[in-house]
């Protein structure tokens, strides 16, 4: 059975979604088991909040990306479906609930992301670090990937999260420098680069990672420059995927790139020296994160 795993408004008016943006719908007990554990934990997942097209596939594999610090974001990006509103106070027991859920799922690779919490004095960095530390206690063999906001580039907050010993520090550039002010108005293109540079300078052993969306109106030359900018600050892992419009009020899709173009982009990224590259229509920052990490670990051990 083929199902388009997309919001109904993802295609610009009058344009059919291309065939490569259709996926098989998995079913089974594992999917239901994951949904139950996630629900019982009370921790949000970006899989649901961001309407990720890979939710069914990832959950059927018992893989979920947890979103801490609530499900309300203090920023409004034109690509993101997460609700913008005044957030609730952080739940003190969330790190424990998160760790218990991860242990129950038996995860070997866990992604922890968060809404932006510009309302907090430490922008949520301390709570984020506690989530990593608590999970590490219960799952010492699990690779932990963090995907935080930029903390406004504040050195002490970036260091605080690095000191919690994540295996991968992911911070998405999302788009090119020209498009960045429109797509992520509360962020800064150069500040994202600086965050990734800081992580690598402070903890060289931590893998750095960044993700890009394409189809927003960028040129191939702009995309190539963006990838080179990321590589120049030492980013190890890059993901490139198709932008999909969550609702009609979000940034429109300018173009759907065919799979062969993603292959070309991936080849360019590998030629730049990225240790691990994932490029494809359905690739998201956390999609198949365990496989992406395994690839770079294999290279490191070779």
- Examine the pLDDT at 274 and tell me if it is beyond 90: yes
pLDDT in tens, 145-163: 999 999 999 999 999 999 9
Whole-number average pLDDT of the chain: 86
Phi, psi dihedrals of residue 242, rounded to the nearest 5°: -75, 130
Looking at per-residue pLDDT, the higher value among 64 and 246 belongs to 246
- Examine the pLDDT at 50 and tell me if it is beyond 50: yes
- Examine the pLDDT at 189 and tell me if it is beyond 70: yes
pLDDT for the residue numbered 294: 72
Domain annotation for the chain: domains and CATH numbers:
27-301 (3.20.20.70)
Distance in angstroms (rounded) separating the CA atoms of residues 133 and 139: 10
Percent of the chain surpassing pLDDT 90:
59
Mean pLDDT of all residues in 93-98: 96
pLDDT category at 91 given cuts 50, 70, 90 is very high
- What's the whole-model pTM score? 0.88
pLDDT for the residue numbered 302: 52
Residue 36 exposed, middle or buried by CB count within 10 Å (0-12, 13-18, 19+): exposed
pLDDT for the residue numbered 76: 83
pLDDT in tens, 277-293: 999 998 988 776 767 77
């Amino acid at each position: 059975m083929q199902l388009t795993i997309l919001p109904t408004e993802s295609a610009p008016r009058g344009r059919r979604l291309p065939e490569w943006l259709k996926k098989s719908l998995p079913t089974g007990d594992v999917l239901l088991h994951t949904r139950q554990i996630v629900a019982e934990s009370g921790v949000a997942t970006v899989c649901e909040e961001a309407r990720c097209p890979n939710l069914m596939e990832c959950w059927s594999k018992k893989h979920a990306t947890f979103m801490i610090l609530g499900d309300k974001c203090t920023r409004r990006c034109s690509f993101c479906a997460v609700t913008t509103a005044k957030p609730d106070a952080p739940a003190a027991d969330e790190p424990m609930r998160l760790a218990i859920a991860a242990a129950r799922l038996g995860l070997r690779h866990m992604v922890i992301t968060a809404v932006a919490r510009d309302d907090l004095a430490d922008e949520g960095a301390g709570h984020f670090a506690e989530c990593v530390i608590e999970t590490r206690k219960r799952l010492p063999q699990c690779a932990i990937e963090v995907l935080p906001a930029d903390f406004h580039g504040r050195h002490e907050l970036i260091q605080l999260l690095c000191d919690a010993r994540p295996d991968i520090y992911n911070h998405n550039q999302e788009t090119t420098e020209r498009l960045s002010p429109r797509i992520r108005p509360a962020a800064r293109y150069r500040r994202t680069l600086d965050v990734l540079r800081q992580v690598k300078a402070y903890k060289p052993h931590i893998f750095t990672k960044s993700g890009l969306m394409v189809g927003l109106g960028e040129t191939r030359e702009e995309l190539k420059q963006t990838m080179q900018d990321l590589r120049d600050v030492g980013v190890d892992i890059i993901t490139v995927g198709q932008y999909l419009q969550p609702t009609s009020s979000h940034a429109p899709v300018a173009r759907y790139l065919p799979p062969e173009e993603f292959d070309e982009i991936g080849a360019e990224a590998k030629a730049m020296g990225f240790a691990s590259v994932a490029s494809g229509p359905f690739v998201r920052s956390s999609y198949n994160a365990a496989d992406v990490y395994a690839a770079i670990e294999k290279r490191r051990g070779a």
